Amino acid sequence: MSDTVEIRQLTIEDYLDLKESMVSAYADMAGSYWREPTIQRLINLFPEGQIAVAVNGKVVGCALSIIVDYDKFGDNHTYEQITGYYTFSTHNPKGDVLYGIEVFVHPEYRGKRLARRLYDARKVLCEQLNLEGIVAGGRIPNYEKYADNMTPRDYIEKVQDKEIYDPTLTFQFSNDFTVKKILKNYLPNDEASKGFATLLQWFNIYYERDQDTIRYNKSTVRIGLVQWLMRDYGDIAGFLQQVEYFVDAVSDYGSDFVVFPELFNSPLMKEFNQMDPAGAIRGVAKYTDQLREVIQQYAVSYNVNIIAGSMPIIIDETLYNVSYLCRRDGSYEQYIKIHPTPGEVSSWGIKGGDEIQVFDTDCGKIGIQICYDVEFPEPSRILAEQGMQILFVPFMTDTQNAYNRVRFCAQARAIENECYVAIAGCIGNLPKVNNMDLQYAQSCVFTPSDFAFPVTGVKAESTPNTEMVVIADVDLVLLKELHAFGSVQTLKDLRKDLYQVIKK
């Protein structure tokens, strides 16, 4: 008959089983077991923190915990200090860290992954209580075999590199704990560890500070991409009427962002057909401030953050390609394309900007890159290191080859930076505008490539060369889980000892 395993809260009725298991687990530390009044005190103080594992109804292991205000103790503390000299007067229900004071499993029941179940239950508790993480002092019981010729630091490094096995520390590493510090005299009577211990830490990736609860940041973010058709809108009023139509339509779906393409105001160049290309693009730049102000108003009126494609702008007589983030609270920020294409330089004289920054929004941290920018991996990596969760890429491409450069590079950015990438492009043509070519686009939302995401890495995509909108939901919590538990972890595994991307 197979065993039945149960994870549940410890009760005082479990004490005799608990004592037997603990005495067996700590056979190398004679007399090391919790007395019944102490267990009763823990259960009274923090019942949900005392977790038992039972096999066929018998308690064969447990995980005991308290909550502490960690700043009061810091990293230099002993076991006696953190437990209030075993009174647990240090337990503070309003603290910020779940402190593990005990984990053990009866030796006869090891090999059944019971300790892992206890750890998983403790992690779930930490998440449910919205605590920053779990901290514990960990024994290094095999250290006595190496103490004569190896420092505790060397020993820990070799355990981490799997050159040495330690029954406690090896297990902690496999459960995503990291060593924060080496503690001396943490448990003075622990001869096997020579009095040393590791201060271990596990981070709760779902933790949110209370003061941020009201303003922050939805876990699921809805994105609306406008695949914009180049056509004659008559004048700026007609152009803005079409912009408002799409903002209205996308906001009706409850979207958090609406994204327009690069240079989507190009139809206004018709007014300047008599000029050379450089004069025409500078002519249409005179409308940029007006367009930005009106789009700001749309963002507030329709309660949606708007990535206002891109537009030409003249600053100190120099021509740039600018995108605006118009937030739904009425504020705005700008991003200037840092890599003008060779055609933009030769035909229009556009210069590149020099700012690479992440923008805060009510839906997380975002980045903006304009078309050609996404074909350079370094800026995206800098944004990722600043916490970017979604990268928006307004683009304009004339051929399918050009489009594929944007698409393939955008997908690469999503994978290597563990983020979402949304690209929105223009389609059609402008027969009455002398300075614009045909347009080709398929607007998409790309994801990282792991089990939690679509197998193709494509969350949503438009029909190529069709005027339409794409609506897609992206889950920011999945990014946190990917960073911490992904099959591969490209941001965590960067060899910063060997190479680094630095913004000058």
Catalytic residue list contains 262: yes
Catalytic residue among 62, 126, 326, 337: 337
Contact 492, 481 (CB under 8 A): no
The answer for residues whose C-beta is within 8 angstroms of residue 5's C-beta and 6 or more apart is 53, 54, 55, 112, 114, 117
Can you say how many angstroms the Cα of residue 331 is from the centroid of all Cα atoms in its chain? 25
Residue 312 pairs with which residues in a beta bridge?
A: 321
- 3-state secondary structure at position 100: strand
**Distance between CA 231 and CA 428 in Å, rounded?**
7
Name the helix (H) or strand (E) containing 290.
Answer: helix 288-301
- 3-state secondary structure at position 490: coil
Residue 328: φ, ψ to 5°: -75, -5
**Distance between CA 128 and CA 125 in Å, rounded?**
5
- 3-state secondary structure at position 337: coil
Catalytic residue list contains 48: no
Burial class of 153 by CB neighbour count within 10 A (0 to 12, 13 to 18, 19+): exposed
Give the CA distances from residue 231 to residues 242, 368, 422, in Å, rounded to whole numbers and listed in that order. 11, 26, 24
Widest pairwise Cα distance in the chain: 96
Catalytic residue among 62, 126, 371, 409: 371
Question: In terms of Cα–Cα distance, which of 346, 268, 273 is closest to 312?
Answer: 268
Alpha helices in 129-174 (DSSP H): 152-160, 169-174
Catalytic residue list contains 293: no
The answer for residues whose C-beta is within 8 angstroms of residue 386's C-beta and 6 or more apart is 357, 358, 365
The answer for residues whose C-beta is within 8 angstroms of residue 176's C-beta and 6 or more apart is 202, 484, 485
Which tokens belong to 313? 């702008």
Q: List the Cα angle 248/254/260 in 5-degree steps.
A: 50
Catalytic residue among 126, 262, 426, 461: 262
Which tokens belong to 152? 């505790």
Place of tokens 């290309």: 277
Can you say how many angstroms the Cα of residue 327 is from the centroid of all Cα atoms in its chain? 21
Residue 81: φ, ψ to 5°: -65, -45
Active-site amino acid positions: 262, 337, 371
